[in-house]
Amino acid sequence: MTSEATRRKNSRTGIVAGLVAAAMVGLGFAAVPLYNLFCKVTGFNGTTQRYDPVAAAAEPKVLSDTVSVRFDSNVSPKLPWKFYPEHPRDTVSIGARDMAIFIARNESAHPVTGTATFNVTPLQAGKYFTKIQCFCFTQQTLQPGEQVRMPVLFFVDPKIKDDVDARDIQEITLSYTFYPVDEGKKAS
């Protein structure tokens, strides 16, 4: 093989390797948004649904069946807050709107902004647990010593009764964990 042919072959291999590397970097940046979209659509990993009144054809039908909803709260050790549900458990009619209140208190001497992540267990219930309004949709800033009551409006979609993997669920746990917001990432 001539040196010119070897150089062309090496050049072609380098270009292909560069394109593969660029594609991998692009896929790396797209992975998180694609995963979040997948979880939102399927309820995978306990991801709840967000109620969209425009997209909803009608209000869900309220069933006589009930489910117990347990409320769990956690705080990152880096966030100087106390955070807990006002009532740790509620029994709700499937399809009926309900409200839970969580209480947060800033235990520090300076304003602190936090954001909540959430999930539902058992995981099969995630796609049927629908939030209408939630403090977790926005960042929360509490002043020193400030205590706030934060509502969550939700319902359990009656379609849960049509799912063979979820219809016998008797208890759903809605869990929140608050984390501090990095100073550089605060919304303006």
| pLDDT above 80 (res 15) | yes
Domain ranges of the chain: 3-42, 49-183
Is residue 74 within 8 Å of residue 177, measured between CB atoms? yes
Where do we find the tokens 């740790």? Answer: 88
Is this model's pTM higher than 0.75 or not?
no
- Is 16 or 36 the better-scoring residue by pLDDT? 16
Q: Using 50, 70 and 90 to split pLDDT, how confident is the model at 83?
A: very high
Class assignment of domain 49-183? mainly beta
Q: Kindly list the distances between the CA atom of residue 32 and the CA atoms of 63, 111, 177, in Å, as whole numbers in the listed order.
A: 36, 30, 19
Average pLDDT of the residues in 133-142: 92
Is residue 100 within 8 Å of residue 84, measured between CB atoms? no
| pLDDT above 90 (res 150) | yes
Percent of the chain with pLDDT over 90: 56
| pLDDT above 60 (res 182) | yes
Average pLDDT of the residues in 6-28: 76
- Is 27 or 181 the better-scoring residue by pLDDT? 181
Residue 111: asked if its preceding bond is cis (omega within 30°), the reply is no
